Amino acid sequence: MTVQDGIQVIAIEEHYLDAEVDGLMGPGFNPFRERLADLSGVRIKEMDEAGIDIQVLSHCPPGAQAFGAEAGVILAKNVNDRLAEFVASKPDRFAAFATLPTQDPKGSADELERCVKDHGFKGAMVHGLTDLTFIDDKRFWPIFERAEALDVPIYVHPAPPHPQLVDIYLKDYVEDYPVILGPAWGFTMETATTGLRLVLSGVFKKYPKLRIILGHMGEGLPFLLWRINHVMSAMNKPGVDVVPFKEIFCEHFYITTSGNFSDAALLCSIMEMGADRILFSVDWPYIENSPGTDWMAQVPLGKEDRTKILSGNVKKLLKM
Ligand code: MN
């Protein structure tokens, strides 16, 4: 077990798979399905081995997003109720993000409220595109409106990019390097684009207390922040708002370390956003726990900042 100087360790992008969703997706949809479906066997064993005190659980993609509006609402309710029952059985080890039936935005807002008020969920996770549409589209704003009212964040998590993007940008290399569709690049393109679009959409002007979480060290955006901000802030097209990109990003976004255990990326993110904006996570079971906790034990930071990242910041954000 990794020793973290007695600092509590909370990991917040840790996935599972509900049996009903698994059945709907069919065999072979996810090579990690056995580990994802495990809740209290190998999951807890590996948390203990790596020194992870609490996992905030979220359903793996597509959650309740891919089954139609009407069926999605019913499915999300059942999935979230089952997750709530499990978390209630081990409240000292687990907390939860809701899955939302995003094809019904109003239904998603209601489900979020139900999960937060009835089950004590900490927010919700959304995955990539819904009906091939980005989540910044105004049709989805009821979700953000409700998240602000409930004072909970929305975790914007990757899913495979739009098939046309794959076709034009990536397909030549997909056969030999299928990870290019996912963590090697496709997820990053898709989710960084979502983050950028959310800032431009004006959703934070409408809902000034809204908070978004991005995984994978901010999907590259902290590294690009100066350049994006430099050119965006200089835009002065008549009738179009000037967007102080960095100011909006740093005020409304938190980022996590999921699957990106790089000292250089972490230090860059701290320099751009501040240590208060960074949350530890692993991305279990896609990523093993110990490389994450071993890395945090040796990052070139003082105990104060390590404490913030390992659990201090998330306890404030999620009121844990
Ligand atoms: Mn993940």
Instruction: Evaluate if residue 3 carries a pLDDT over 80.
Output: no
- What residues contact residue 159 under an 8 Å CB cut-off, 6+ apart? 61, 62, 127, 128, 129, 187, 190
CA distance 136 to 219: 17
- Is 104 marked active-site? no
Ligand 1 center to 69 CA (angstroms):
24
Stretch 195-215: mean pLDDT: 98
pLDDT of residue 4: 82
- Looking at the chain, how many residues does it have? 320
CA distance 90 to 14: 15
DSSP element (H, E) containing 304: helix 303-307
- 8 A C-beta contact, residue 246 and residue 195: no
- What residues contact residue 271 under an 8 Å CB cut-off, 6+ apart? none
Number of helical H runs and strand E runs in the chain: 16, 9
Summarised one tens digit per residue, pLDDT across range 74-123 is 999 999 999 999 999 999 999 999 999 999 999 999 999 999 999 999 99
Supply 180's token pair.
């290019």
CATH fourth-level superfamily of 10-318? Metal-dependent hydrolases (3.20.20.140)
Ligand 1 center to 33 CA (angstroms):
14
3-class secondary-structure state, position 10:
strand
Instruction: Evaluate if residue 1 carries a pLDDT over 60.
Output: no
Summarised one tens digit per residue, pLDDT across range 174-189 is 999 999 999 999 999 9
Ligand 1 center to 216 CA (angstroms):
8
